[in-house]
Chains A and B, each alone.
Chain A
Amino acid sequence: MSQAATDKPNSPEPKRSNGFKISRRAFLGVSGGVAAAVLAVVLALKRPKLAEPVETQTDKVVAADDLISTSCLNCPTRCAIQVRRVQTTAGKTKVVKISGNPASTYSEGKCCSRSHVGLQVLYNPDRFQTPLKRVGGTKGRDVNYDADFAPVSWETALQDVASKLTSPEKLLILQGLNTTSNEDLIRQFALAYGTRNLFDEEGLETAADREGKMLADGRSNSGYEMVSEDGISTKYILAFSSGIVESERPLARNLRLWGKIRRELPNKTRVVSFDPRYSVTASRADEWLPINPGSEGALAMAIAHVILSEGLYDTDFVNDHTDGFNDFSTLARTRRFSPESVSGISGVPADTIRRVAREFAQSRPAVAWSGEAATSWPYGTLASHAIYCLNALVGSIDVPGGIVYQQYPDYQPMPTSGLPITETGITFREMADLLRDGAVNAAIGFSSNLIMSVPESREDGRWDELLKNDNFFYVHVGPAKSEMAAYADYILPACTYLEDWGYESAIPGSGYAEVRIKQPVIAPRDESRPTARTVFDLATILGRRDFFLPPSSGISGDSKEFPEEFAAYRTSLFIAWSDFRWSESKKDNTGVWKGSSYSYRNYAFGTPSGKFEFHSSHLEYLLNVGLPGEGTDYPLELAIYRPVLEIRSGSQNFPWAQEMYLVMHGRGWRNLVEINRETAHEHGVGEGDEVVIESPYGEIEGEARVVEGMQPGVVAIATGQGHFASGEFADGMGCNPMDVIGTEYDEESGQPSFFSTRVRIRKA
């Protein structure tokens, strides 16, 4: 105080009343001042981080605050997103928020919950920093990344990997979730190197569904539109074990349009869900009809039976644009597909089947939506086909609010002349046979998540043994620790999608094409590199460089620039790169390109007859449904499901996703063994018990959750947990139901049948 007073030249002399004596008032004033000063000091010390004034804390002063348009990659929908990036004057850059991109009409500027987790994908503490080479240890569960791997330089790693690839036939390429541009590159690499053995892991879930639809229309790009651009909506949705609002792709679009069809349009869409499990979709639907697992195909035939017997089908469409209708109609109208007969298989009363069939046929446009749980069966292709045919019966093919065929943009072509092969890609069954027979001796996995998502994934199961084999050389290309990396001989760190260049095509749903840019929001962390660069470098070493350098494409051949130049070249037919990407001078580029509006009623089918084909052979197999409770050894049916916060990139090392994993049960950091109350009682299982689920293929432990919303005799377990090499937020949480699922295939598509395994339950 006095200091301040004497500093000021014009301040008056401090007053003293009489010489040395200090009056009581003055004493109080001084001591009060001292006390205030002490208090101020104490408070200043207590104040967090106030030693420096805020203005001079340079890492707190924002120099730039940008919204950058790019696209998500936490599931195959790949939504357009905007990422908020903050830079401080001290030069620190931090990505702080992800939101939907309003320029994307595909999901109307919205993104789902998975997108927000992108921040933790980027800042995952368990990302790889350098290329790693295995120096010891055993592959698989007991991996110790620090001890078993040693850092090597990129050059050494790439040379070593290339030298291990002996011949094209002996190389397997595994493709997990990658950007569209990287998928195109990986495919080009397979063609250029000459290997047919490219397995796309998306086929694990969708192959049978796609095959059944292709049988009918010869197209692989059919999608459910729900609401057309003109606002014409589906009037009736019949969901066959389909998680429309939790796992069905395109999820963010489904969610946005769900809001629309429920409340924003004049007529509310009626949604009826056949599902053994009271899923989120079933709980949000108007009606949940519990069924026995695997009876979806038979139910579809029963509904067709009613529609055909009562003449409720769309005669115009059927007469003009279909083939094989008479045979299908004759078969469907037989007694075995009558509602009474199917009622015994499915558990749905015959009257209910009749009512639903009439509602479905009379509220057009109506769609029958098949889910993974309906088609991942030994006759999955047939089930998918039967369900899909319902759409044709009510004329919902290629009409607003019905099934539409997704359009894709024209990308600039890659060089094709001189390619050793022209076709690549194998089914799951072919891939499994290749590995089992030892026909391949090396594999490259691009963000592969194979071991977590195949049947019999357990320790010492067939996959574990195959991948552990010392003569099998595996290279993992991915951003962070994952189970496949634990089996790797070399790990090449890829950057995450927030640091990468590329483009994404909209997946089937909207009809019209949409392309979203993928551009780095932040520089790649540590030594991680874009997958595109790794592929190009590998191709260069293997002498396949020219297949990646189209003439006069603007691709310089500098591997560092390759990812951006490749994306720019491929998209140059429809948009100039400078109008697409973010730059300091063009910050308002939306990063989204939209194709022309969809034109309906083209009926351009790719079938031999050129029409929509009803196939009726073998459809009677759909009646072979194993009922819960049958058989004494394994009386229960095991169903898996994918909750909305299962991040589809192969890791679950993201605490935000983990802590709110199962919304229906308010539980996180694990999955639960969900079981019907009565069934639980029969087996002596109570809520919260530790239980063992046992199948002929193995056993897993989990916590029992007794619920009302489950068909009796069914046990449901969410996927996405049970990790063992992904990092501290994922390892050892919950169990992986794949460990007890046996290997059966869908005959047509070679997709594994995830739902046909029977189990028993006991207390641990």
Chain B
Amino acid sequence: MANWSMVIDLDKCVGCQACSLACKAENNVPHGSPYEHKRHHDIFWHKVIAAWEGEYPAVNTQIIPMPCMHCEHPPCVNVCPSKATYKRGDGIVMQNFRRCLGCRYCIVACPYGARSFNFKDQADEEYQRPDLPKDLGLSNEGHIGPWPYPHRTRGVVEKCTYCFHRIDQALEDGEEVGSKLDGHHGVLPACVEACPTEARYFGDLDDPESAVSKLLASRSFIKLREEMLTSPKTIYLPR
């Protein structure tokens, strides 16, 4: 089984936020409002942050796209009392809306702020997304996912899924998944596909021939908050 990972080149990234918007569109993530923005109640599965350092004129800003890190040792999974959040075999950290109690322990535990809490009922028109994976109900054994999806329930935690539905569908259809360094990509998560500078790469960390493995072998890389021993699988290539 693959070990999915995302590599983001901070030298190419220009903070245009096409990734954040593509994520919103792909996953039907609801938009916020000024009120929610002020209280950090708005839902983002992916966000671009800017970190300023230095003093005029020697300033430096790091623009960092932040999906879920899909840690090897995810602290959110450890603290979840209801097993609503769990790690799949291929390394993707998932959230099952049905099991989620809304206790938000995971939000506290996550060192990356990758999780959002759903404070509101969704507007009905946002549900009308027949293209997204169907709500399979409890009866469908063996199927795991953030169900009910893309319907949302007030009072549950949401997060990035590396667009698991795209990956699963591609594997089912026998298509290739992941970036290629020559530009002929397989199926990719929405944010990777949308990146206009091609700063993002997605692929199998266990496959030495994948673009992500090659990039990590050829350049220095950073993992955010490595000291917390989460060993994230969203990895950054510094400028």
Answer whether residue A663 sits at the interface, using C-beta atoms and an 8 A cutoff: yes
Chain A residues closer than 8 Å to B128, beta-carbon distance: 59, 92, 94
Q: Is residue B31 contacting chain A, with contact meaning CB distance below 8 A?
A: yes
Chain B residues near A43 (CB-CB < 8 A): 138
Separation in Å of the B30 CB from the closest CB of chain A? 9
Q: Does B130 contact A86, Cβ atoms closer than 8 Å?
A: yes
User: Chain B residues near A677 (CB, 8 Å)?
Assistant: 55-56
Shortest beta-carbon distance, A402 to chain B, in Å?
A: 22
Residues of A within 8 A of B17 (CB): 113, 644-645, 660, 663
For residue A1, CB closer than 8 A to chain B, the reply is no
- CB-contact partner of A669 in B34, B55, B137, B153, under 8 A: B34
Contact B134 A112 (CB under 8 A): no
Q: CA A256 – CA B18 in complex, angstroms?
A: 12
Shortest Cβ distance from residue B63 to the other chain A in the assembled complex, whole angstroms:
7
A677 to B56, CA, bound (A): 9
Report chain B residues within 8 Å CB of A707. Answer: 52
Of B130, B136, B137, B194, which one neighbours A99 at CB under 8 angstroms? Answer: B194
CB–CB A708/B34 < 8 A = no
Residues 281-292 of chain A, each 1 if its beta carbon lies under 8 Å from chain B, else 0 = 101100011100
A502 an interface residue at 8 Å Cβ cutoff?
no
B100: shortest Cβ distance to chain A, in Å?
Answer: 14
Binds A, one of B42-50, B74-82, B83-91, B170-178: B42-50
Interface set, chain A 97-147, CB cutoff 8 A to B:
97-100, 107, 110-113, 115-117, 119, 123
Please name the residue on chain A nearest to B197 by beta carbon. Answer: A259
Which residue of the partner chain, among B16, B24, B52, B59, contacts A245 with CB atoms under 8 Å? B16
Q: Which among B24, B26, B52 is the interface contact of A656 at CB below 8 angstroms?
A: B24
Q: Is the CB of B198 within 8 A of A256?
A: yes
Q: A94-B129, A111-B18, A245-B16 are in contact. Are A283 and B63 (CB under 8 A)?
A: yes
Map CB proximity to A onto B29-42 as digits: 1 under 8 Å, 0 otherwise: 00111100100001
CB A7 to nearest CB in B, in angstroms, measures 20
A278 and B137 within 8 A (CB): no
CB distance from B78 to the nearest CB of A (A): 28
Q: Does B193 contact A (CB under 8 A)?
A: yes
Whether the pair A280, B15 counts as a contact (CB closer than 8 A) is: yes
Task: Tell me whether A110 and B48 are in contact in the complex, defined as CB-CB below 8 angstroms, given that A61-B130, A663-B63, A678-B56 are known contacts.
Answer: no
Cross-chain contact B26 with A97 (CB below 8 angstroms): yes
Q: Does A439 contact B (CB under 8 A)?
A: no
- Is there a chain A Cβ closer than 8 Å to B209's Cβ? no
Say yes or no: is A525 at the interface (Cβ < 8 Å to chain B). Answer: no
The range of chain B's interface size is: 35 or more
Contact partners of B34 in chain A: CB under 8 A: 668-670, 733
Interchain CA distance A65-B194 in the complex, whole Å: 19
A residues in contact with B42, CB < 8 Å: 659
Of the listed stretches A17-25, A46-54, A460-468, A535-543, name the one at the interface; the rest are far from the partner chain. A46-54
- Which B residues are in CB contact (< 8 Å) with A4? none
Which chain A residues lie closer than 8 Å to B199 at the CB level?
259
Whether B61 lies near A96 (C-beta < 8 A) is: no
B12 to chain A, nearest CB (A): 4
Residues 191-209 of chain B, each 1 if its beta carbon lies under 8 Å from chain A, else 0: 0011111110000000000
| Residue from B56, B125, B148, B195 with most neighbouring chain A CB atoms (10 Å) | B56
Are A280 and B129 CB-contacts (below 8 A) given A664-B61, A677-B56, A678-B56?
no
Identify A255's interface contact among B14, B37, B57, B125, CB under 8 A: B14
**A709 contacts B by Cβ under 8 Å:** yes
Cα(A245)–Cα(B24), bound, Å: 22
Is B142 positioned at the interface, with any CB of A under 8 Å from its CB? no
Q: How far is the CA of A49 from the CA of B138 in the complex (A)?
A: 13
Q: Please determine whether B32 and A659 come into contact, CB atoms closer than 8 angstroms.
A: yes
Residues of A within 8 A of B60 (CB): 283
Asked if B21 CB lies within 8 Å of chain A CBs, one says: yes
Cross-chain contact B56 with A258 (CB below 8 angstroms): no
Q: How far is the CB of A652 from chain B (nearest CB, A)?
A: 13
- In Å, the complex CA distance between A59 and B128 comes to 8
Residue A665 at the B interface, CB < 8 A? yes
A656 touches B21 (CB 8 A): yes
Asked if B196 and A111 make an inter-chain contact with CB atoms under 8 angstroms apart, the answer reads: yes
Q: Which of A48, A111, A669, A709 meets B61, CB within 8 Å? A: A709
Which single residue of chain A is at the shortest CB-CB distance from B20? A660
Contact A86 B131 (CB under 8 A): yes
Name the distance in Å between A411's Cβ and chain B's nearest Cβ: 29
**Across the interface, which residues of B come within 8 angstroms of A655, CB to CB?**
31-33
Residue A60 is within 8 A (CB to CB) of chain B in the complex: yes
- The answer for the CA separation of A65 and B129 in the assembled complex, in Å, is 12
A449: min CB distance to chain B, Å: 22
Closest beta carbon of chain B to A230's beta carbon, Å = 16
Q: Does B11 contact A (CB under 8 A)?
A: yes
Q: Contact: A48 with B14, CB < 8 Å? A: no
Residues of A within 8 A of B63 (CB): 280, 283-284, 663-664
A255 pairs with B136, CB closer than 8 A: no
Q: Mark A431-469, 1 if CB is under 8 A from B, else 0.
A: 000000000000000000000000000000000000000
| Residue from B25, B136, B199 having most chain A Cβ neighbours under 10 A | B25
The CA of A329 and the CA of B12, in the complex, are separated in Å by: 38
Could you write out 27 A-B pairs with CB less than 8 Å apart?
Answer: A48-B151, A48-B153, A54-B134, A59-B128, A59-B130, A62-B130, A86-B131, A88-B130, A110-B194, A116-B22, A119-B25, A245-B16, A246-B14, A246-B16, A255-B16, A256-B198, A259-B197, A278-B61, A280-B63, A290-B57, A659-B32, A659-B42, A660-B21, A664-B15, A676-B56, A677-B55, A677-B56
- Contacts A48-B148, A86-B129 given; 12 further ones with Cβ under 8 A? A61-B130, A86-B130, A94-B130, A97-B25, A116-B22, A117-B21, A262-B197, A278-B59, A281-B14, A678-B56, A708-B54, A709-B59
